[in-house]
Each structure stands twice: as C-alpha cells, then as structure tokens.
Structure 1
Amino acid sequence: MLRVAEKGSLAAGARALGVNHTTALRRVHAFERRLGVRLFERLAKGYVLTAAGEELMRTAQQMDEMATSVERRISGRDLRLTGSVRVTTTDTLAVSIVPPHLAAFRRKHPDVHLELTTSNAVLSLSKRDADVAIRPSGRPPENANLVGRRIAEIAFALYAAPSYLADHRTRDLARHLWIAPDDSLGQTAVAEWMARELPHAVDVLRCDSFVAMRTAAVAGLGVVALPCYLGDPEPGLERVRGPLANLTSELWILTHEDLRGTARIRAFTEFMAEALIREQRGLIQGRGRGA
C-alpha cells in the first residue's frame, strides 16, 4: 500500500515491490477487505488516497522510517569486515578516478562486496538507498545526520578538440559553440556558471551526462566545461581556459552517522578518502595538464 501511494500508480508500485500488476492489485484489495475501508480512489491520473488511506499512509510512513532507523543502528554495530557496501557516485567519477580504488579495496578486503550505483540523482543515505556517497557538492552537507570527509576542491576548465579549435580561433567565449548540461543537470556548478557567465551562448548540444558532453567535445562539436579530473586525462581534448577561479565544487565522501561504526563502512570510507587524497588530489584540483 505504501509503495502504491508513493508511486501514484499500481504499475509503478508493483515495479518498486518487484511483483506484477495483478499481484499488487490483489494485495491492495485484500488489505482493504481486511480493514473494511476503501484506501484508494482509482482516477484517470492514477491511484489517489481516500481520507482513510491518507491517515493510514502517515502511520505507515512513520513505521517505515522507524524500521529504517533501527536497521541503520543495528548495522552500525556490525564489527565484521564482511558483507556489502552500497556506494553511490556520479558518472564522471565512475568512469575516471573511482574504479582503480574500488579494485584496490577489494584486493585488501575480499570478503566485502561492493555495489555501485552511478547516477546524477542524489540517493538518500538516510533511507539506506546507499551506504556511502562519493559526490561533488558546492558546500558542506547540510543534513546533520550525515558524516564524512572533504577530499579536495574540484577544479574545472574549458576544453575543446583540436579540430574544433582549428576552425574557431576566437578568445571571446561568447562567440564559441557550446556543449551544455540540460535541465536535469541544472543545479550543477557548470550549469550555474554558464547561466551566470554565458547567458547568450549558442548551445549546439545539451546533455544529461558530463561523460556524454566530453565525448561530444572530442568529436569536435564545441567547447565544454568539465571537471579537470574528467577533462585532463582525455588525449582528444585541449584546455581552452582554466582552471576557472569562479567555477569550483568540492568532493566529499559521506555516510549516515548510524553507520560510521560499521567495520566495513568505516574501512571503505577511510580507504577511499586516503587513496583519493594521496594519489589524485592534484588531478582533482586541476594541477595537471596545462595548469
């Protein structure tokens, strides 16, 4: 019932539960018969809670939050270096600096199994969508329940392919053709910088992925703003300008405070933080090619 209400449709709720549409419908009807009340009104736009359903929904959400909290606290007492660690990061980090350190961690702790979610959406550590987040952020985490470590300031630069630069020799950034983030990346540092510094720039391509933006730049479509850890190692790109003083972010490793005592979580966060600082802080901060 909770999943159907959250998702707004029976089909979406069934997918969230990992069951088919018929099974989910049967469960809803059985629940309603057992309580003797109607919980949903089926409208054209989906399933809408009745007054009784809304009251039950609030109670179910509280129970769900309590169960998740208990699970976190129990997991936090686990002192064994075994089990799974669910990691969330961005596509840019997943194709660049993170994988070598995942491999090194697994060699050191072979009984810890890693699960990697690559998404630009911020998964919730409080709801246990993930155990550890390795993510850029423009400021320290505001959630008081999250604890972690700042790895480095992330530097950004402008890049383009030699073939593009051969045909576009101007130093006026506003006259260049641009590869830009789309609305799904509208809260990123790059999108905010472009809106502020290049409000009238000509976008020849908009992407929902910085990895796709880099690939498009290599093909010669235009200029792109990228984190230096993504742009500098790419041999098909040249720095046009940067690092940019007014375009920065920060790299953080975060977990929920209830999990920091879990041996495998602590081992993973400490290992990754030390490895990134020791081996790749210079690249993250833009002290690479052309710096």
Structure 2
Amino acid sequence: MPNSIAETHRVDWDDLRYVLAVARAGSLAGAARALGVNHSTVLRRLGAYEARIGARLFERLPSGYVPTAAGEAMVKELVEIDAAIHDTERRAAGQDRRIIGTVRLSTTDTLMASVLPPALARVRAEHPSIVLEISTANRLAVLTRREADIALRPTASPPETLVGRRIAGLGYAAYAAPSYLSGRTADLALGEHLWLAPDASLGETAAARWLRANLREVEPVVRADSFVSLRDLAVGGLGVALLPCYLGDTSPGLIRLPRAATLDLGSTLWLLTHADLRRVARIDAVVSVLTAALSADRTTFEG
C-alpha cells in the first residue's frame, strides 16, 4: 500500500504510462516495446489498474486493443499531460550550454551504410565528450517526445513543428550487378528487367511511389523492408533495384542501368531538431559538424 500522497501519485502515473502506451500502440506487444518491458508486465499492470478503478479502459479485439468510452476520455487527458511533461523537459534541456553528454540521432540504414559514418567520425574528432546514440529504424522519430534529439532523414516536407537545415536534393537511379546485366542487351526496356522492390512498410517512400507510377505492370521478383537489403540483393545478381544515388554509387559491385538516368523524385535530405533543443550546446555542435560534413557530399547525394 502507498504510505504517502506522493507515493500514491507516483504509482498512479506509472500505471497511466501503461494505459497511454497501449492506446498509442494498439497492442500489448507494441506497448511493451515502447516501455522497454515484457508483454506480461503490460497485461498485468493494465489489468490491475482497471480493477482498481473499476472501469474497463480497452476492448480486447482480434485486431488489437481499442479504447472504450471511458478509455478514450482518459487517454485524451493523458496525451495532454504527456505533451506538457515533454515540453517542460525540452525547455529545461534547452538551457544546457555544455558541449558534453549524449546526443540521440535518428537516421536511416541507407545513410549509415554509405556516407554517414565518416561524418560521425568528424563529430567524434571535434567533440570527444559527446556520446552518440544512433537509431536506424525506418521511421521519423518523434522528436517532440524526445525519442531523438536530431533526425537526419529524406523527406519531401519536414514537419512544421521542427526546425532544420536542408542538406541536399536526392537523386535516384536503377542499379544492378554486372553478373545480372551480362547477356542482357543495353537497350532492354526497364519494364523487361527483374525488379527488386520495397515492401508495404516502405510503400510511401519516393522510390516505391515511382515504381508504382512507372512500372505498374511489373511484378517484383523480391520485396524487402530495407533499401540496404535491396542493395545487397542487387549485388547478388537477383535483379534491378531503384536506390538513392548516395547508396548505389558508393556500393562496390553495382552499376547503373544504361537506360536509367538520374531521377529527381522530389526527395530532400534534412537535418532536423525541435525548436526548444537548438539552443542546447551539444546538439547544436553535432548539427553544425554534420551539416558541414554532409554538405560537402552534395554531388554524391544529387547523383
């Protein structure tokens, strides 16, 4: 039993974090990943909290956990509370002027597999007291919730809530291995090649949209959830992959298809952060070094 009002509030907020995580994820497994606990812990904590307040907050459906009317009302308030807490954290962090500590960077596996490591080496050389934490999950990290301090990502239109710097436009081209192209004529139409394509998880990327618009009759021989995987499959000779030039041109074992000139798909590389964090010295230092290093590779990005 809690022995003080403060402890009561602490226990309640711990439980409410579980409620909010389940609502955001729509499942126990997703909430467990977000909270860094196991599935059974989420199930136990949610069940105990519902029993304590005497209300069912979620309907357990085959498709996932859906808030009840009571759950919707509670989650609406929890979202506002959570946002206020993170706003307070960001403003406090914005007062930190020391070039020391941890900086969390969200980026893509394609950038990490090509041009980004040398730029990160420059950060390390110039600011050895900064510890970098890198995430390459293929989604734009929610900077407003401090899942990352900086995001380096291709996007046609950065969120208005973030501030950042445009690094370069991104060119794309079709790539294949010499072993695949051997025996195929140089003037073979793009639609007659064997294609390696992004799967549904990458369906809104610039490359996936171009393939749907221009090769709609083509059925890919392989789909993958990573452009690095598509690159590796192309190197293995399985077919043709549409890749950003900064990945394709820097990958040994790949050449551009003769008939596929550099394509401008409207994608741009941005370095983004939250407005409240741009005054943090260590974050500003990392942004400055990365901007200088990556801008020097503009021709690589534009293809």
TM-score, length basis structure 1: 0.88
Q: 2:58·2:71 contact (CA, 8 Å) conserved in 1? A: no
- Does 2:167 match 1:151? yes
Shift of 1:275: 0.7
Corresponding residue to 2:202 among 185, 209, 215: 185
- Give me the whole-angstrom Cα distance separating, in 1, the residues matched to 2:228 and 2:132: 23
Report the counterpart of residue 282 of structure 2 in structure 1.
Answer: 264
| Secondary structure of the structure 2 residue equivalent to 1:80 | coil
Residue of structure 1 in register with 2:24 after alignment: 6
My pick for the range that moved more, 88-97 or 238-247, is: 238-247
Using the alignment, how far apart are the partners of 1:89 and 1:108 within structure 2?
Answer: 21
Instruction: Name the structure 2 match of 1:244.
Output: 262
- Asked if residue 168 in structure 1 is aligned to residue 180 in structure 2, the reply is no
Equivalent-residue separation in structure 2 for 1:165 and 1:26 (angstroms):
57
Provide the aligned length of Structure 1 versus Structure 2: 282
The answer as to 2:140 corresponding to 1:122 is yes
TM value normalised by structure 2: 0.85
Deviation at residue 253 of structure 1 after TM alignment: 0.4
Query: Counting helix residues as a fraction of each chain, which structure ranks higher?
Result: 2
Shift of 1:24: 4.0
Gap change, CA 1:111 and 1:222, over 3 Å in 2: same
SS of 1:203's partner is: coil
Sequence identity, in percent? Answer: 49
- Tell me the distance in 2 between the aligned counterparts of 1:145 and 1:253: 14
RMSD: 2.1
What is the alpha-carbon distance in structure 2 between the residues aligned to residue 109 and residue 226 of structure 1?
A: 33
Q: Deviations over 1:173-225 (max 9, x none)?
A: 11111111111111111111111121112411111111111111111111221
Q: 1:136, 1:256 → 2: CA distance?
A: 17
User: Which of 84, 87, 102 in structure 2 is aligned with 1:66?
Assistant: 84
Contact 2:122 2:289 in 1 (8 A): no
1:31-42 to structure 2, matched below 5 A, reads 31-32=49-50, 36-41=53-58
What is the correspondence of 1:15-164 to structure 2 with a 5 Å cutoff?
15-20=33-38, 23-28=41-46, 31-32=49-50, 36-41=53-58, 43-45=60-62, 47-138=65-156, 140-141=157-158, 143-164=159-180
Match of 1:231 in 2: 248
Q: Is the 8 A contact 2:173 2:263 kept in 1?
A: no
Following the alignment from structure 2 to structure 1, what is the Cα–Cα distance between the partners of residues 197 and 37? 39
Deviation at 1:246, TM superposition (A): 4.3
Structure 2: runs of 5+ lacking an equivalent: 1-18
Corresponding residue of 1:289: none
Deviations 1:113-155 (A, max 9, x none): 11100022221111211111111112x31x2221111111111
2:292 is equivalent to residue 283 of structure 1: no
